[in-house]
Amino acid sequence: MSLHPFMNLAQAALLAVASAAAGAINSVAGGGSLLSFPAAMAVGMSPLMANATNSVALAPGSLASAFGYRREVSRDGAVIRLLLPAAAVGGGLGSVLLLVTPQRVFDTLVPLLVLFATVLLLIQNLRRPAPRQAAVEGWDLPRNAVASVILQLLVGVYGGYFGAGMGIMMLALFARVGGKDIHRMNGVKTVLAAAINAIAAVAFVVARAVDYEAAAIMTVGAISGGFLGAVGARRIKPAVVRWGVVAIGLVLFAQLAYRHWWS
């Protein structure tokens, strides 16, 4: 369904620009939903519908990012086969959990979820970067991968439920799994994020929780941003992008907290 059969040009432009930026940021650093999610709310959607619509729109964007990283992804089939089933199952569980959460409860939780995602980005920025290695090859997959699969399942649940910051969670997990090269880790991240968002999107569509007009506009933006972000990721310092997203996240948290807790 659509809440905006006569969406004006300014609203459409806001959604397109925000989703394009989100797709690019997710390719480079993670945390793009901290832009596209509030944009969806700004045009009149409830937090729950904005979250569902955002997930539907970002799934194709993640696929576009994966295509941009196709050179890296083609070399990492082993880790994708290890973690993809858990990511998909987690995405489905998270989406169902969101759909059974009362709107009032979710509205109350949204400021905390935004703050959580923002703090993840902040911590990632404050960490001292590892020394750059001249040549980094492959992944050191652990012999006992059960813990890694369980952690990916939990990340998938979070991604299906809210999503902002799940890319940062996956990059941290990949370091545990044995990832060494940030570009190859980003490539795997985009594939798993696409699976999480796609499974969640199916549940949201079936439940009629999606604003299709907004989703169509956001999908176009997310695809263009996701592909261009993946292509440009090798030239951009992820921390530079993340600091901007952290600032936006803190402002958004303050705004949402005031609206839902104190106003």
Among 167, 158, 162, residue whose Cα is nearest residue 124: 167
Domain hosting 240: range is: 9-128+135-262
Q: What's the domain count of the chain?
A: 1
pLDDT in tens, 234-249: 666 666 666 776 787 7
Is 208 part of any domain? yes
**Averaged pLDDT, 202-212:** 92
Is 2 part of any domain? no
Most distant pair of Cα atoms in the chain: their distance: 56
Report how far apart, in Å, the C-alpha atoms of 249 and of each of 14, 78, 145 are. 17, 35, 33
Most confident of 106-110, 125-129, 159-163: 159-163
**Averaged pLDDT, 107-134:** 72
Band of pLDDT at residue 132, cut at 50, 70 and 90? very low
Residue with tokens 């370091």: 175
Query: In percent, how much of the chain has pLDDT > 70?
Result: 83
pLDDT in tens, 21-46: 888 887 776 678 888 998 999 898 98
pLDDT at 233: 60
Cα separation, 222 vs 215, whole angstroms: 10
Spell out the residues 6+ positions from residue 115 whose beta carbon is closer than 8 angstroms to its own.
Answer: 249, 253
Is 4 part of any domain? no
Burial class from Cβ neighbours inside 10 Å (0-12, 13-18, 19+) for residue 43 reads buried
